[in-house]
A and B are shown apart, each in its own frame.
Chain A
Amino acid sequence: MQTLKVKVWRGAENGAFQEFEVPRQESQTVLDVVTYVQRKCDPTLAYRFACRVGVCGSCAMTVNGRSRWTCRTHVDKVAEDGSVEIAPLRNLPVIKDLVTDMREFFDKWAKARGRFSGSKTRKDEFERVSPESKERKRVDAGIECIGCGVCYSACDVVSWNKDYLGPAALNRAWTLVNDVRDTAQSERLAAVAGDAGCHACHTHLNCTERCPKGLSPTAGIAGLKRAVLSATLSGKI
């Protein structure tokens, strides 16, 4: 039977890789491999997953040095010389093995005012937003984020500046900036401006390159830069 050599990160940040042999299967995903290791080789292995079909965004890891969603990453596509190296996401504190502490990642969504603020109640009529409008099309381009943390893990600016809000939080802010119903635009633009916000982006496009949903946070961040400039010139922030 054909086997795959798997190096899996064990311990916290000062840990090390441990090697396992896993039987190869047809259409095997990296998450299948991790699950095999935990069920058949070492039940103390810690990892995180839920839906297994690319919806929940909880199984992201670093596979052969690149951040990926493991449930939809086929071993065939990433194995190099019959081996795979699996590590936790980068730029986030490692709790144990393949599990990172995602708190700072999600806290930054809140800091970027990633929450909708509306003015209407359930008694009001629905707001009509044309699917053809410029704003709605921009929202569509960024709205499918599943919050997996791959972009945050891939971003060099996050490594350089721990306060940087990161691609996912800024992408979320950009979708809300284009939400014509939202009433907190000035506060949001003020929150995403500055050294830790959109202006810190170096346009490496690491996030755009790695996003499993094919989104471009870089595009949203560039949009935020323009929106902040325009709001500053018109005295809104």
Chain B
Amino acid sequence: MSAAGIHTPGMKNDYRARNHPAYWAFIVHRLSGLLLTLFLPLHFWALGQAFHGAAGLDGFLAWTQNPLVKFAETGLVLLLAAHMAGGARLLLIEFLDWREWQKSLLAVAAGLSLAFGLAFALNLG
């Protein structure tokens, strides 16, 4: 055994090791969290328009009625729903004793997120 060999970190996994539903749930949770973090400053900026008088905020709110913005908002609702459902799934795994059905929770989380997103999209009309 070479001395160099035993101090190396070992080989790394590639996508093949990670291609399973629970890992995808992790990716969705992480990505939705990052995108929501990016959205948050925009949200505060929009609310901050009220400091410049009602006209500024009303003008911005009128712009949000634009169909394209409404469509983007569906994506936002989907991100929020996915992040919330994914978080609830983690809490149920961490705080309850282990049961086999906890593995199915990610299907429930995905279903709930889609249902919220679709409900919002259907209300747009």
Interface residues, chain A, with chain B CB atoms under 8 Å away: 12-13, 62, 64-67, 87-96, 100-101, 103, 138, 141, 153-154, 156, 159, 162, 202-206, 208-210, 216, 218-219, 222-223, 225-226
Quick one: CB contact mask for B31-75 with A, threshold 8 Å, 1 for yes? 000000000000000000000000000000000000000000000
User: Knowing A66-B17, A67-B17 touch, does A222 contact B10 (C-beta < 8 A)?
Assistant: no
Tell me which of B8, B18, B22, B26 contacts A93 (CB under 8 A): B8
Determine how close the nearest CB of chain B comes to the CB of A135; give it in whole angstroms: 11
Quick one: CB contact mask for B1-35 with A, threshold 8 Å, 1 for yes? 11011111111111111101011001000000000
Tell me which of A95, A154, A162, A206 contacts B9 (CB under 8 A): A162
Chain A residues whose C-beta falls within 8 Å of the C-beta of B101 in the assembled complex: none
Asked if residues B1 and A204 are in contact (CB atoms below 8 Å), the reply is no
Chain B residues whose C-beta falls within 8 Å of the C-beta of A203 in the assembled complex: 22, 26, 90, 93-94
Given pairs A205-B23, A206-B18, A226-B94, 18 additional interface contacts (CB within 8 A): A12-B2, A12-B5, A12-B8, A13-B8, A62-B11, A65-B14, A91-B11, A95-B1, A95-B6, A153-B13, A154-B17, A203-B94, A204-B26, A205-B22, A208-B22, A209-B22, A219-B98, A222-B95
Q: How many residues of B contact A (CB 8 A)?
A: 28
Chain A residues whose C-beta falls within 8 Å of the C-beta of B1 in the assembled complex: 95-96, 101
Interface residues, chain B, with chain A CB atoms under 8 Å away: 1-2, 4-18, 20, 22-23, 26, 90, 93-95, 97-98, 103
Cα distance A67–B14 in the bound complex, in angstroms:
11
Q: Which residue of A lies closest to B1 (CB)?
A: A95
Tell me which of A90, A202, A225 contacts B12 (CB under 8 A): A90
Overall SS of chain A's interface: mixed
Cα distance A102–B120 in the bound complex, in angstroms:
52
User: Knowing A12-B5, A222-B93 touch, does A93 contact B20 (C-beta < 8 A)?
Assistant: no
User: Knowing A64-B16, A88-B11 touch, does A93 contact B6 (C-beta < 8 A)?
Assistant: yes
Cα distance A65–B18 in the bound complex, in angstroms:
9
Asked if residues B13 and A156 are in contact (CB atoms below 8 Å), the reply is yes
Asked if residues B2 and A90 are in contact (CB atoms below 8 Å), the reply is no
Chain A residues whose C-beta falls within 8 Å of the C-beta of B16 in the assembled complex: 64-66
Determine how close the nearest CB of chain A comes to the CB of B18; give it in whole angstroms: 7
Chain A residues whose C-beta falls within 8 Å of the C-beta of B18 in the assembled complex: 156, 204, 206
